[in-house]
Structure 1
Amino acid sequence: MSEDDQAPRRTRVTERFTRVPIFAMYLEDDEVARILAISDEISVRGDSEIFGPGEENDGFYIIIKGRVNIDLPSERGGRTTIATLSNRSVFGEMSFLRGDRKRSAWAHATEPTVLTKVRGDAFREMLEKGDVAAYKVIYNFAQLIAARLRRVEDELLDTLDELGPKRRERKLAELQEFRQKLFKEWSF
């Protein structure tokens, strides 16, 4: 197949990924193509584990088609599902962005699922070389995580509303104290 014949296919693939939140904002088609060049497509059977706690962190994933549960270890030794993700969702980015070498959660396909895995070593290399596409993805991750944090805060406030006025005020004061510590004591 000539390079001219491959161009329409690359464009279709690139267009599909421009609807993925981490690529949708600020990335040009050629930048999306550079990220996809360091990615692999993976098919996973339903009821299959993609990764688990303690496993080596080797990149992040984008769901093309299917469903994935993200589970954290519970205090009683089991699992607690914290998210169910579907098409165009990204997962595995938290430990990747923190630079953790090991995963802290399970990712489990609940149905036949097609994923794109962005290889972590190649993405880090793009960052080290100063590739703007990689920095734009990181910026988009920051926006995605900020939106998630806002939803968690909203859920927390809804939960506090169920406690009753006195307990709610006490818990809000504790939360405010925690926030102040975060903003004053964290060094970036």
Structure 2
Amino acid sequence: MIKLLENLYIFRGLSDDDISRIEAIAELESYSSGDLIFRQNDAADAFFVIQHGTVNIELDEEGDTSGPIAVATLGTGSHFGEMAFLDNQPRSASAIAASYSDILRIGYSAMKEVLESDSALSIHVYKQLARFMCSRLRLTTLDLKYERSQNLGHL
């Protein structure tokens, strides 16, 4: 579990002691294919790291009867559910196990306690989270530009 956390973008570069503190609050959960990990609009209380397996992130559009929109498929070593750690908002999408998956669950309240006890660790983790969210936003912006250019070409 330590190696998985060490390689995670938001924890990369942390000391062994810091990684051990985070490992101590992580809980291993197992999901079968099709199991719901969390539902869009649920209150959020944890983020997740895929130790083994695959998870689909899906978006339900209100009033859309064609079914959920696939946002991403995440595999081993990926993390998800971290947005609400930063903004305390409900889940923006649903997460469903696409295969048998072992997933680390890191509760927000326990993580915040660890971060509040060590300002250097807190700065590192929040800075890494901000960088990660910026990279996601940049990718989303590029996707939107591409979609817009494709739609304009069909007018």
- After TM superposition, the score normalised by the length of structure 1 is 0.73
- CA distance in 1 between partners of 2:139 and 2:149 (Å): 15
Q: Do the aligned partners of residues 130 and 17 (structure 1) sit closer, same or farther apart at CA in structure 2, a change above 3 Å counting?
A: closer
Candidates 131, 139, 145, aligned match of 1:143: 131
- Structure 1 stretches of 4+ moved >6 Å: none
Q: 1:131, CA displacement in angstroms? A: 4.3
> In the comparison of the two structures, how many residue pairs are matched?
152
| Aligned partners of 1:123 and 1:134 also within 8 Å | no
Please identify which structure carries the higher helix content. Answer: 1
Identity %: 31
Match of 1:103 in 2: 91
Q: CA RMSD in A?
A: 1.9
Query: Which secondary structure does the structure 2 equivalent of 1:18 belong to?
Result: helix
- CA distance in 1 between partners of 2:126 and 2:78 (Å): 15
Does residue 77 of structure 2 align to residue 88 of structure 1? yes
| Aligned partners of 2:27 and 2:104 also within 8 Å | yes
Match of 2:55 in 1: 68
Match of 1:180 in 2: none
Q: 1:139, CA displacement in angstroms? A: 1.5
The equivalences for 1:1-188 within 5 A come to 13-24=1-12, 26-75=13-62, 76-77=64-65, 78-100=67-89, 102-164=90-152
Choose 1 or 2 for highest CA Rg.
1
Which consecutive unaligned segments of at least 5 residues does structure 1 have? 1-12, 168-188
Which consecutive unaligned segments of at least 5 residues does structure 2 have? none
